[in-house]
Structure 1
């Protein structure tokens, strides 16, 4: 009986270690869901070189004046937001970023790569416009928070944000040592303490992806300026950004 128990324990341990190995080796394919290139009527396509890769940036609206950079969510086709943003922000030049591997951009996504690319995109846009606001949704909220710690952003908007990808992953895989396995942690709550830009945080009332506790932890971590926080009623994680109430609140906040 003891031999059988030991054999079962060894087998279970091997299965567990194998699962940990699989998660470690394939974690980026589980974290990132690149979208294919899509038509973008009404937008200018900008091929921007960053760290040896080419990013496909979509620009819409007036060429001059204030600008807005949008870092989208995972598996999101940012081109679909063009008509909504052009209508909601008629006075701004809008830049929608396709991450590495997304929307025709070359390369493969990782946290380090996305953060480097964000700085490249911001510096390019800032060279053309007197002030630049930034919106980050879901995955993009981690990119936007980082950018706000290394560049002067006029206004920062975070939609359905998290305190860290590590926290979200722990919620999804509680049986695994996520802290040891995860490469791309996007520690937004650590970085938020350094953000000095006026910040608006919009939460979906029925967010089924980001736990509310994760968003609340991020909100509590701001130090210099307390963010304005609002819940958009009747919305889910994927529907909030296109909701009329969300777009109106964004327009009011960006207008100052």
Structure 2
């Protein structure tokens, strides 16, 4: 009887692992519909046509923005336009988000980020790259490969694989997870001045994960700004957050 119980438990565990493996991307990506009121520019990439929420502005400076896993980046356009009045704005709707075609994956989104930067950099030699939550991993990876003028990371993580392993300690998450978003691998290669904006009361991406990422950068490259009283989804409404961004926009 005991052997039957153990065999049943092992089968149930194996099935749970299989379910996690098959459903992992549905637990990482939460595509949002297109906001029809926002100006959109298309970017053709291999296997997809991406929508960008944009605010064209002449001049050397531009901002490229990568949002969170459930974010409609179009909603961030008005505040970024106000905080960065001298920057042209390019906000990427990931594959499957905001009317973009294709399906999201770490490899695809990382390639798309490079394509967007190259498109923007051709017209604007000073490109500030900003990533929030999920998008912070794309921003770090991009900045390790391209001549980014400045890097801004909002509620960033050291590794999504590590965060998931902490939430599901009884499963071999590091083996099961395909899209690991290991920002720590790319941070040492970043040379651009980097600011990490961290929510003090973030329960989704704890400040400890952001501090682990901070330690991966070369000395003097990155600094961390803790936004007091802010949560993961409320940080952008805090005056200290806006003040920090406004200061970066003036640099």
Same fold flag (TM > 0.5)? yes
Q: Does 1:55 align with 2:30?
A: no
Match of 1:221 in 2: 216
Match of 1:196 in 2: 191
Aligned equivalent of 2:240, options 234, 238, 245:
245
Q: Does 1:24 align with 2:21?
A: yes
Q: Does 1:151 align with 2:133?
A: no
Aligned equivalent of 1:94, options 84, 89, 93:
89
Which secondary structure does the structure 1 equivalent of 2:229 belong to?
Answer: strand
Q: Output the CA distance in 1 between the equivalents of 2:55 and 2:147.
A: 22
Q: Output the CA distance in 2 between the equivalents of 1:27 and 1:178.
A: 10
CA displacement at 1:61 relative to structure 2 = 5.3
Q: TM-score, normalised by structure 2?
A: 0.96
61 and 249 in structure 1: CA distance in 2 versus 1, 3 angstrom threshold:
farther
Which secondary structure does the structure 2 equivalent of 1:203 belong to?
Answer: strand
Q: Does 1:165 align with 2:140?
A: no
Q: Output the CA distance in 1 between the equivalents of 2:219 and 2:175.
A: 31
Q: Which runs of 5+ in 2 are unaligned?
A: none
Match of 1:11 in 2: 8
CA displacement at 1:224 relative to structure 2 = 5.0
Dislocated runs of 4+, deviation >3 Å: none
- Map Cα deviations across residues 34-84 of structure 1 (whole Å, 9 max, x no partner): 11111344xx31110011210000111524331001100110111111111
CA contact (8 A) 1:56 1:98 kept: yes
Q: Output the CA distance in 1 between the equivalents of 2:104 and 2:224.
A: 30
- Map Cα deviations across residues 126-163 of structure 1 (whole Å, 9 max, x no partner): 11112100000100000000000110100000010001
Which range is displaced more, 11-20 or 56-65?
A: 56-65
Q: TM-score, normalised by structure 1?
A: 0.95
Q: Output the CA distance in 2 between the equivalents of 1:197 and 1:162.
A: 18
Match of 2:72 in 1: 77
CA displacement at 1:105 relative to structure 2 = 0.6
Match of 1:140 in 2: 135
Aligned equivalent of 2:33, options 21, 33, 36:
36
Number of equivalent positions:
251
Q: Output the CA distance in 2 between the equivalents of 1:16 and 1:84.
A: 46
CA displacement at 1:247 relative to structure 2 = 2.0
Which secondary structure does the structure 1 equivalent of 2:71 belong to?
Answer: coil
Q: Output the CA distance in 2 between the equivalents of 1:141 and 1:23.
A: 24
Q: Output the CA distance in 2 between the equivalents of 1:255 and 1:154.
A: 13
CA contact (8 A) 2:131 2:153 kept: yes
